[in-house]
Amino acid sequence: MSRRKSNILLPFNSTATKTVNQSTENATLLRSKKTPSERRQTLAEFLEPDLDENNLEELDNLKQKLWNIYRVSDLYNFDNTKPDTFPRYGRILSRYLVSSFTQAVTLQAKFLLKPDIQGFESEDPPVRITVEDVQLSKPSLVYEGILFSGPEGGGSKIDGAVHLPLLLARGHSVVRDKVHECLSAVFSSVIHEFSFPAEEMHWMIAAWSGYINESKNSKEVGFLYGIPSRKDTIYCQYPVNFIKNLWNCIHEKDNLNVQSSEVKRFHTSLVIHTQNTLGLNLDAVPLLMYKTPDFELYAEGKVRLKTPEFMPRILHFIADLCENRTN
């Protein structure tokens, strides 16, 4: 899948940056070519990811959990080539957490290399971080996070740094914040919550409509809309087959290239249909959540993965989104 969104090219993107060393004493300027911000993607290629059977166990670990999505900048001094350094990182994180909390807590952190499940074949494989409370006789997991790699060639990483732009994390928000604070402090990085722009939600919903399947328990897809300045929400359900058929009417089934005009037409049709049948103009309210038998997407930056088939596809797409901003 190659899906590049134009952005202003940054100095740390060596592929696009021209360095100009000014002759004046201290001025080292990194010149970058400006790209008009109004330019938008018009075409994206959604490849069908290969599902490696060896990774089914890894995929199962991701299943049915509500993950918070974070964008991570390059991790400096993070040596993932020597897994024997991981116990040290674990100790550092454990001590950092213990000293961060005013209450006496007993937390044990672990770092573990994981196989690539996204199909990027990146030189930086995913890393799983867990934090367990070992105070009680049976340790309980208080934090789980997986750092995923970005698309190959998506951007150049900083020399000596590890490029894992996507972090899926879950656990108590206080612990989550502390873990991320520690990772940022130790590896000179920055970890921010990532939320889906409305435009990206539309892309994902439309482009994956052709692949969703009914399950035993669920035969509908649901759209949850928020009402501005009120706590009320509107939840609209449609049969899976209705959505699939609608998409198939707009987009050629075997064509992997999805055009923005198709995405727009899909959503407009859905909105018009709802307006005609229910009298609701869904175009005027923000989409908060999209739920299918295969996955759930939350605009605030959360995802729940239900079937292994969709996991590489979704992770690939989200990593690409995070990648766009970090490069």
Residues that bind another protein (CB under 8 A): 8-12, 19, 22-32, 34, 37, 71, 73-74, 76-77, 79, 85, 88-89, 92, 95-96, 98, 103-108, 134-137, 158-161, 181, 184-190, 192, 195, 325-326
Phi, psi torsion values for 265, nearest 5 degrees:
-65, -40
Place of tokens 């058929």: 245
- Which is nearer to another protein, 77 or 215 (by Cβ)? 77
Minimal CA–CA distance to 67: which of 297, 290, 320, 308?
Answer: 297
CB of 9 to another protein, least distance (A): 8
Q: How far apart are the first and last CA of the chain?
A: 17
Query: Helix 173-186 and helix 86-100: axis angle, to 10°?
Result: 120
CB of 288 to another protein, least distance (A): 17
- Which is nearer to another protein, 75 or 250 (by Cβ)? 75
CB of 27 to another protein, least distance (A): 6
CB of 320 to another protein, least distance (A): 16
- Which is nearer to another protein, 140 or 277 (by Cβ)? 140
Give every CB contact of residue 64 below 8 A, 6+ residues apart in sequence. 304, 305, 306
Q: Which amino acid is at 132?
A: E
- Which is nearer to another protein, 135 or 275 (by Cβ)? 135
- Which is nearer to another protein, 73 or 149 (by Cβ)? 73
The two three-digit tokens of residue 212, written as one number: 């969703």
CB of 51 to another protein, least distance (A): 32
What is the torsional sign of CA 68, 200, 156, 124?
positive
